Structure 1
């Protein structure tokens, strides 16, 4: 007679078949819960997964709020299980930030507050409207382009730091993501308190970038400000070189 599907040797891992030497499999990490599947185990596994995700996300967010450079340094030096992957964190944070910017109408308000829009009739100019639509369409791309450009420039400027490009990349992912999330506070301030344009978000994001660079690279405030400012300048040059031709092609 064939053995029931749920009946498996209790000395072997039910996931990979490795010999068990404790509560957790040394090969795949699955916990040993005895033979068969019951409702208690199903609920326990689901709750455990949720708590682990929430705990890691909360730890990453709080850590980046208190000291973004230290979190990035810990991750680069191998402490990875305790934090959310920097690229995943950055993607999610930028998406939330952009959604808040568009949902609250801040993007349109900032566009209308620009000098060229204040000119008589400029707001109704088809080219201005087309530019506004174009920028909104590629807002996520422009935000995420910050990461590879900043990482490359920082790698060139801090060659003696010993960090690989991947380490610089992870640092930028964390600070860009955290800056985007905290910048949402500026978005809601503009929408519900008093409109100050890009100033609130700019102050918040630059503080995160500079403070993060101070701890990650071990530089002073002015040296860190120079690092971030140089990276920003390079980013703007590259962004213009990419976006301008795309916009011209888009309106033709």
Structure 2
């Protein structure tokens, strides 16, 4: 008999074709078989998507090394896995967009209040400025910042998937500079796609749990991203506790330098744009 997909000759006992890897189908289509295949392929624990999640949770270093070494059929493509995670997050955040914006707005409010207290602190001892003016300045500044922050969050929410894919190469650059060899930049891109694909799911789960119980759970989800990144790279590089601390410090420094560099670049572009506009 021949494989129905690639036509290579196979024996009657063959379960999977050696040439194309397709499963050898011998039974006729029945309603029972269709239902069984649906649950097996879409929801089964041996489904590639669930195998990918399970391995990333229990042994991330195994999946990452196997995929980089050439084991591809066993797991979902890294960028496909990343896209699925981003899509699930986007669906959840948009479905409960008002709750999402409320939670993020509350966080931004606390951060901005702390920053404004520092910015306006030099006016507290100014006798020429009344207390009412100080309060008005503080409230007006906070109001404008929150309005701007909400506008930015709505834009991010609208183009969530696009922002996710645009930022992925930057995360990979930071990881590459932090951890370096034996993996090249392209391999770090694959590693980060898998890691972020899973962290999308984690933050979504914590977000939904936060809606049901308390918003504090949502913030635990944000922390889970850092924890899982550390866990995955620790297993991948087999790092000791001391090495993990050193890499985390290196990560913070590199991230800070890149952010400052981007801000400086934006400033230069703004200055040049203004000069050309004149």
TM-score (norm 2): 0.66
Q: Does 1:222 align with 2:245?
A: yes
Q: What is the DSSP-based 3-state SS (H/G/I as helix, E as strand, rest coil) of the residue aligned with 2:215?
A: coil
**Conserved in 1, the CA contact under 8 Å of 2:105 and 2:146?**
no
Aligned to 2:220: 200
Q: CA RMSD in A?
A: 3.5
Aligned in 2, Cα 1:230/1:182: closer, same or farther, shift over 3 Å? farther
Instruction: Give the Cα separation in 2 of the matches to 1:148 and 1:107.
Output: 26
Q: Does 1:141 align with 2:162?
A: yes
Structure 2 residue runs of 5 or longer lacking an equivalent are 114-137, 270-278
When the two structures are aligned, how many residues end up with a matched partner? 229
Match of 2:3 among 10, 13, 19: 13
Aligned to 2:104: 110
Aligned in 2, Cα 1:67/1:109: closer, same or farther, shift over 3 Å? same
Aligned to 2:40: 51
Instruction: Give the Cα separation in 2 of the matches to 1:129 and 1:146.
Output: 20
Matches within 5 A, 1:89-238: 89-104=81-96, 105-115=99-109, 120=139, 122=143, 127-159=148-180, 161-196=181-216, 199-219=219-239, 220-226=243-249, 228-230=251-253, 232-233=255-256, 236=259
Aligned to 1:39: 29
1:112-149 CA-to-partner distances (Å, cap 9, x unmatched) read 44138776462798645533432322333333333211
Q: What is the DSSP-based 3-state SS (H/G/I as helix, E as strand, rest coil) of the residue aligned with 1:114?
A: helix
Instruction: Give the Cα separation in 1 of the matches to 2:9 and 2:193.
Output: 40
Structure that is richer in helix per residue: 2
Instruction: Give the Cα separation in 2 of the matches to 1:150 and 1:28.
Output: 36
Asked which structure has the greater CA Rg, the reply is 2
Structure 1 residue runs of 5 or longer lacking an equivalent are 1-10, 246-252
- Once the two structures are TM-superposed, the CA of residue 214 in structure 1 deviates from its matched residue by 0.7
1:188-225 CA-to-partner distances (Å, cap 9, x unmatched) read 34323222396322211100011111111233321342
Instruction: Give the Cα separation in 2 of the matches to 1:234 and 1:176.
Output: 22
Aligned in 2, Cα 1:239/1:103: closer, same or farther, shift over 3 Å? farther
